[in-house]
Amino acid sequence: MMNSDAEKILKRIPRETAAVGLVMGLITVPLFGPAAGLFVFGGGLFSALSFIHLKGALARLLSEDRRRAVRSGVIHYFVRLALLIGVFFIIIFLFSRMVLAFAAGFSAVIPVFLVEAAVSLARASQWKS
């Protein structure tokens, strides 16, 4: 079982990702227009929802027996990949000029991970001192 600090971080990441996506979207509006800002924010929300789904899927997979978990995990991974590719293809075909905006929002999880890792490392080094 995970410690409470890790559980708190895993619960914070989707909220922080959505918040970073919102801030990025608001910054994008005056620079590239409201449609781009909406797609950046939508990408951030999609990234946060994807993280929540992945976290839940991993918790379910880790609770099953090993052989079923591996088979179920591989199937689940390919379904997730197909859905992600499907969303990007829909955006490419219907809103081809907004693909980069959505991808920028979708990548909002990266700075969130970096900040959470830096904070965790800082706390760990303080604990050791």
Asked if residue 2 belongs to a domain, the reply is no
Asked if residue 33 belongs to a domain, the reply is yes
Number of domains in the chain: 1
For the purposes of burial, counting CB atoms within 10 Å of the CB of 30, is it exposed (0-12), middle (13-18) or buried (19 or more)?
A: exposed
Could you report the per-residue pLDDT of 36-84, keeping only the tens digit for each? 999 999 999 999 998 998 888 777 777 767 677 777 778 888 888 898 8
Asked if the model's pLDDT at residue 1 lies above 50, the reply is: no
Rounded to an integer, what distance in angstroms lies between the CA atom of residue 93 and that of residue 41?
A: 19
Asked if the model's pLDDT at residue 6 lies above 70, the reply is: yes
List Cβ neighbours of 101 (8 Å cut-off, separation of 6 or more): 28, 32, 35, 36, 37, 39, 40, 43
Task: State the residue range of the domain holding 98.
Answer: 13-123
Mean pLDDT, rounded, for 109-128: 86
Best CA proximity match to 98, nearest among 19, 20, 21, 32: 32
Asked if residue 74 belongs to a domain, the reply is yes
Asked if residue 59 belongs to a domain, the reply is yes
Q: What is the pLDDT of residue 129?
A: 55
Asked if residue 118 belongs to a domain, the reply is yes
Asked if residue 5 belongs to a domain, the reply is no
Q: Global pTM? A: 0.82
Q: What is the pLDDT of residue 2?
A: 52
